[in-house]
Amino acid sequence: MPEPNIIVYHWNIQNFGYAKTVVSKDICKAVAENLYSKSLDTTSDIYVGFLLEVKVNIFATDILRYDLSTQLSDTFPLRTFEVGFINCGGGAHNAENIVFFHSVPGHDKIVTSDLLSYKDEISKYIEKDKIDAIKALNKHNEVCLSKNLRKRHCLTNYNVSNSGNRNVHFVDSKSNEPSGPVFSHEKRYSSGLNAPEWYRDGVMITIESALNPFFNDGNDFKSISIGSIHMPGPDHMSKDPNIFKALMEAANKRNLSCLTGDFNVHSVMEEEKSYLDHTNFPGGTTQKKDDSGAFSNTKYDRSFSTKEILKTYTTDVSLHSAFVAGSKVSDHGGLTTSYTYHSDVPVVHNMHLLLE
């Protein structure tokens, strides 16, 4: 029995909330039509997809799920799709859901959804950053003391105890001349990482089978997992490469074969060699701010695969426009990664190795 082809999809549908439900059907129709156009065999292909940047609004989320289920059923009448969502957390102003869907043919398949556990990995770097900042502050204070400098009140009338990370000035004890602003809090020496609960998690879909040779090694269950995430904005991502590094570590620990999503990085900063980046096509994945329909050169959306899955699969990555029914519904295009089974022959992939 040949291994099934796999179609993996994600689309950041930009701040989808109650006000945007008026275009929900159009968005979902575009998703279904794109999937159908990329299908290799509509009876046996595996479909897994994610819609990102959905507000934590149960009314809007339910409308999106209903419209997506309806459009997928209409487009694939012989297939059954499960459409769900997971609250990925985040802060008061950046919390989001991810709406996911999957269709896996065969009665022997077990499909589950779960969080990616990205927060577990980023928490380690947040704690390290905090410890490093305290060490740097202590070293700075030691230098001040060694130069016989003493504290004096902040040069404004602001209460220092309530001033957050305001500067506290020092003066030379002999000349009584200011020595320049001296930091009074470890935040000055921090990379600017936020608390763990501020970061959004990702979602993973795991497919298991006891019969299909792709999933079964002959002895026990073997699974394939596909994940997606909406990372913080590019300004925050540029603060510390460990924000992205934590994502790749989470993907490794969760044994993802494919990771797709809006990573908000201008370039791949990861040294991990177990994943390959497919998005080496010309241009970017975000739409220009005008109504031209052209894509920018910013490639925030990416698709990664392990070398293991690529031993038997060729890949192709395509991008569809955010213009739906004559209007622009997002600032991102939708990204599709098609995995085509290739039996016992050398394969060529549309990708490049991370930092290779």
- pLDDT digit string, tens, across residues 148-162: 655 543 333 333 333
Low-confidence ranges of the chain (pLDDT < 70): 1-2, 144-145, 147-186, 210-222, 267-273, 343-356
pLDDT at 14: 96
Q: What's the full length of the chain, in residues?
A: 356
pLDDT mean across residues, the chain? 82
**Using an 8 Å Cβ cutoff, are 317 and 350 in contact?**
yes
pLDDT at 245: 92
pLDDT at 159: 33
| Neighbouring residues of 212: CB distance < 8 A, sequence distance ≥ 6 | 1, 3, 4, 106, 108, 109
Looking at residue 295, which CATH number applies to its domain? 3.60.10.10
Query: Could you tell me if 42 and 79 lie in one domain?
Result: yes
**Is 228 inside a domain boundary?**
yes
Query: Could you tell me if 252 and 338 lie in one domain?
Result: yes
Distance CA 80, CA 141 (A): 64
Q: Indicate the SS3 state at residue 69.
A: helix
**Is 214 inside a domain boundary?**
yes
pLDDT tens column, 270-296 = 545 678 888 878 889 999 888 788 898
Query: Could you tell me if 288 and 219 lie in one domain?
Result: yes
Domain count, the chain: 2
Query: Could you tell me if 85 and 226 lie in one domain?
Result: yes
- Domain holding 109, by residue range, is 6-117+205-353
**Is 194 inside a domain boundary?**
no
**Using an 8 Å Cβ cutoff, are 261 and 52 in contact?**
yes
- To the nearest 10°, report the CA torsion of 124, 129, 135, 139: 160
pLDDT at 290: 83
Query: Could you tell me if 240 and 137 lie in one domain?
Result: no
Query: Could you tell me if 220 and 251 lie in one domain?
Result: yes
Question: Could you tell me the end-to-end alpha-carbon distance of the chain, in angstroms, rounded to an integer?
Answer: 35
**Is 200 inside a domain boundary?**
no
Query: Could you tell me if 229 and 260 lie in one domain?
Result: yes
Single out the residue of 75, 5, 10 nearest to residue 335, CA to CA.
Answer: 10
pLDDT at 203: 98
Query: Could you tell me if 176 and 47 lie in one domain?
Result: no
Q: Is 4 left (phi over 0), alpha (psi -120 to 50) or beta?
A: beta
pLDDT at 272: 54
Query: Could you tell me if 21 and 74 lie in one domain?
Result: yes
pLDDT at 344: 54
Pairing of strands 275-277, 222-230: unpaired
**Is 43 inside a domain boundary?**
yes
